[in-house]
Structure 1
Amino acid sequence: MWLWQQNCLINLLLKVVGGRSSISSGKGRSHQNPIKYGFSLVKGKANHPMEDFHVAKFVQTRGQELGLFAIYDGHLGDSVPAYLQKNLFSNILKDEDFWTDTARSIVKAYEATDTAILSHTPDLGRGGSTAVTAIIINNQKLWVANVGDSRAVLSKDGVAIQMSIDHEPNTERDSIEDKGGFVSNMPGDVARVNGQLAVSRAFGDKNLKSHLRSDPDIQQANIDTETELLILASDGLWKVMANQEAVDIARRIKDPQRAAKQLATEALNKESKDDISCVVVRFKS
C-alpha cells in the first residue's frame, strides 16, 4: 500500500513536459532465458524538458539472443541522448568484429557515433550526453561500457560490484589540461571542464570537444549462478544513493519494474533534483 501511495503521489506532483511524459515505466523479459527487466524514468525539478533516454529490450540475431540496456543522460537539450537511443546499439552490432572482438567493436562504435553527432548538424552537436550500455549475450556474458557518470552496478550473491567508472573532471584533470582545457569549481562547488561541464567524457558537446574524451571504459563479467541483478541508472540516482543501498532495495523486490520504480522513489525521497532514470535487470527469480 505504501509503495502504491508513493507512486500515486509522484504522478500527481509531476507534469507532462515538452511532449514527453515526465514519468514512465515498463517491463519485459527474455524469450529464451529466465531474465526479466523493468525501467522507470522520472523528470527532475529543473526547468527544462526530460533529458534522459533509455533502451531495454531483447533481440534475436544470428541465432543468438542479446539483451540491450542503456541509460543516456543528456544535457543542453535532448537531441544527443535521443540520437544515441536510435543509433548507438545498431552501430555496435553492425560492426563485423562484434562476435569475435566485442570490446573493440564497442570502442569503434562509440567513436563513430560521436563523430556522427558532431558532424550531423550544429544543433545536434551543441548539446551532449553520457551513456552507460550493457549487452547480455545468451545469458552467459555481460559487457558494460560507459562514458560520463551514469553507472552500472551488478549484484553477485548480494554484493554490489560497480561495472563502470564515473568520469569526473577532477579524476581526469591531467587529460583535460593536456588538451588545453582546465577544471574549475566556479561557479558553484562542482568541478567542471572549463567551468561548464561536470563530466570529463561525453558524446557531443561540440564547443568543449577538444578538451573532452568520448572513448568508453569497458568491463566484462561472466553470468553465473551468483549473478542476481544489474542496475543501470543516471546520476540522478547515484548522487543520493550508494551502490550497495541500491542493490539491497532491488533485491527485496522480485518484480524488476517495481524495483526500478522504488529506486526512483527513494531517490526522490532523498531530494534528488536531477532526472532519475533506472533499469533493473533480474537474472533469476
Structure 2
Amino acid sequence: WEHDIGQRKLHLYNWDKFCATILEGGLRTRQAKLMNEALLAKLAWRIMSSPNSFIAEVRKAKYYKRDAFEVVQLNATDSWDLQFGCGAVVFAGSYTDSLSCSLQDMASGAGRRRGHELVPLAALISREMKNEKMEKPSVRCGHAAQSRKGEDYFLVKTDCQRVPGNPSSTFSVFAIFDGHNGNAAAIFTREHLLSHILSAVPRGLGREEWFQALPRALVAGFVKTDKEFQSETSGTTATFVIVDAWTVTVASVGDSRCILDTQGGGISTLTVDHRLEENVEERERVTASGGEVGRLSIAGGAEIGPLRCWPGGLCLSRSIGDMDVGEFIVPIPYVKQVKLSNAGGRLIIASDGIWDALSSEMAAKSCRGLPAELAARQVVKEALRTRGLKDDTTCIVVDIIPPESSPPPSPLPKKPNKLRSFLFRKRSRDSANKLSKKLSAVGIVEELFEEGSAMLAERLGIDEGAGQTTSGLFTCGVCQVDLAPSEGISVHAGSIFSTSSKPWQGPFLCAACRNKKDAMEGKRPSGVKVA
C-alpha cells in the first residue's frame, strides 16, 4: 500500500520506522501516552521527506521490526490506536491484544472498527507541507566593502535549490574569502567551493537528511578546493554560510568571523578564529605535525609581531591554498549548525578588516535598526572610523525575518547572565519536538552540530556504504572521483582514532586524497622547500 505525494511515494512498510519517533512523542511500550493529530502529521512528514534518517534511531531503540506498525484514529478526541510490530497495542493508555487491523484492511477501508474513521495520510502530510511553507522566514541581505589590497572577495547566492526545479527547496549561500599573498586563491575558492560542496551531498535527500549531510559535505568541499588549487602560492580564508529556512550552517577556516545577533541582544560567534596568536590548540597541532611556531626575528634577536608558522610566516593555522607554507596548514573547516527561533536573527559575516577594528558587540550594536544593505555599510563605516583603511574591509549582513503571519516573539528573560548559559543548547538529532517548541518560545537558538577537529577521519565519520554509486562503484569521499573496488583506501585505515574500524568501512579515498590526508596529519613530508 502506498500514497502518492507529489512526485514521491510513501510505502506503508516504512511505518515500522515510526518506532523511533515514538520515543520523541514520549510513548513507551510500558508507559503509554496519547499522540494528537498535529504530532502525527509532523512525524509523517518527516518520514516522507527523509525515511532513511530514522534507521539508526530505530536500531538504538531496539524496536526495529519488519512487521506492521499501524496508526488508526479512534474517535473525535484525537486519541490513537498504535500497534507495534511486536504485537503490543496501546489503546487510550491501556493494553489490549484484540483491537487491531491489518495493512490490507487499512488499504481497503475495512479497518474501521467500532466507528473508527481512518485519517488519510495524504491529508495529514498536505497540512504539514502547508505549515512548513507558511513558517519559512524571509532572507534579506546587503554587503559593503572598501578595498586596499584587492584581495577580499565575497559570494552572495540566494537562489540555490536542494532539488533542481523545486522552488520550495531554495536555500541561500553567503561567503567571504580574504586572500593573502595575492588574490588567486580567493578567486578560485569563490568560483569552485560551492559546486564542490554540493557534489559531496548524496542525491535524493529530504531536508532533515540534507542538514545532517552538510557537515561532512562542507569538509569534503573545502579539502577538494584546496587540493585542486595548486597553480600559485597564495592563500585565503573562507567563511561559508548556508541559510535554509531557520537553520544556519557555517563552515570556516581562517579569521573571517561570522556572528549571530538574536532578538533581545544576544550575540554569539558561529566561527572560530584560526590565528596562531589566539588559538592554543592550533599551535599544538601545527607543531605536532612538523611546523614551527614563533615570531618574526629581526637584527639583534628581538622578536616582533604575532605568532607565525614557519616556513612561510603565515599567521593562520587553517586556510585554503598556501601550498608553499606546509600542508599542516589545513583546509578542514570548523563547522557549526544552529536552528534559530521563530524570532529570527541577523548574521554579520566580515573579513578581519572589520574584526581588527570592532568587537562583535560593537559591530552588532552599530547597525541595529537598519535594513541589511544599510547595516553592512554602517559596519564598514564604523570600522574605518575606528581604525582607518589598513586592510581590505568587507562585510555581509543577512537578516532572517519571521513571516508576517507569525506571532510576535515572546520577550526574553530579564536576567542576561542566566540567558547566556542557555543561549545555545546542544541537542541530538532525535531530540523531542517539545524541546524545539520551548526553545523557540523564549528566543533561544538550538545548536544542532559543532565540530572543529583537524583530523579528516574524524570529520568524514564512519559509513560502510559511503560513496557507493548505483553501479556498484565507489567514489572518493573528498574529490568524488570513481574508484574501483581495489583502489579505494578507507579514510580510517591506520587511524588511531578509529580502533574499531574495518578496512571496508567508508568513506574511501583515492590515492591522491590519501596522500593529502597523511601530509596534513604530519605522517609524511609535505614537500615544502625551505628557502
TM range (shorter): 0.7 to 0.9
Determine the structure 1 residue equivalent to 2:138: 34
Deviations 1:235-261 (A, max 9, x none): 1101111111111122231x2111111
Q: Please say which structure displays the higher CA radius of gyration.
A: 2
Determine the structure 2 residue equivalent to 1:277: 394
Superposition deviation, residue 211 in structure 1: 2.9
Identity %: 29
SS at match of 2:252: strand
1:184 to 281, 294, 297: 294
Determine the structure 2 residue equivalent to 1:54: 154
Unaligned ranges ≥5, structure 2: 1-135, 204-209, 298-303, 403-531
SS at match of 2:242: strand
Determine the structure 1 residue equivalent to 2:348: 231
Asked if 1:264 is matched to 2:369, the reply is: no
TM-score for both structures, normalised by structure 2: 0.44
Distance in 1 (alpha carbons) for counterparts of 2:196 and 2:327: 23
- CA RMSD of superposed structures (Å): 1.6
Count of paired positions: 243
Distance in 1 (alpha carbons) for counterparts of 2:306 and 2:344: 35
Distance in 2 (alpha carbons) for counterparts of 1:92 and 1:180: 29
Distance in 2 (alpha carbons) for counterparts of 1:215 and 1:226: 32
Deviations 1:179-211 (A, max 9, x none): 221112215321111161111111100111323
Distance in 1 (alpha carbons) for counterparts of 2:327 and 2:219: 19
Superposition deviation, residue 35 in structure 1: 1.4
SS at match of 1:134: strand
Superposition deviation, residue 274 in structure 1: 1.1
Matches within 5 A, 1:163-178: 163-170=270-277, 171=279, 172-178=282-288
Superposition deviation, residue 227 in structure 1: 2.8
Structure 1 residues 149-158 or 219-228, which shifts more?
A: 219-228
Asked if 1:151 is matched to 2:263, the reply is: no
Distance in 1 (alpha carbons) for counterparts of 2:175 and 2:240: 4
Determine the structure 1 residue equivalent to 2:194: 89
Superposition deviation, residue 140 in structure 1: 2.2
1:160 to 226, 246, 267: 267
Superposition deviation, residue 33 in structure 1: 4.4
Unaligned ranges ≥5, structure 1: 1-31
Determine the structure 2 residue equivalent to 1:207: 324
Deviations 1:71-99 (A, max 9, x none): 00000111110011111011111223382
Q: Give the partner amino acid of 2:224.
A: A
Deviations 1:24-83 (A, max 9, x none): xxxxxxxx8421100011113xxxx41000011212421211110000000011111001
Asked if 1:74 is matched to 2:179, the reply is: yes
Q: Structure 1's 127 and 60: CA in aligned 2 closer, same or farther, altered over 3 A?
A: closer
Determine the structure 2 residue equivalent to 1:19: none
As a proportion of its length, which structure holds more strand?
1
Deviations 1:146-181 (A, max 9, x none): 000001001112211000000011421111111221
Determine the structure 2 residue equivalent to 1:43: 147
Distance in 1 (alpha carbons) for counterparts of 2:369 and 2:391: 25
Distance in 2 (alpha carbons) for counterparts of 1:52 and 1:110: 18
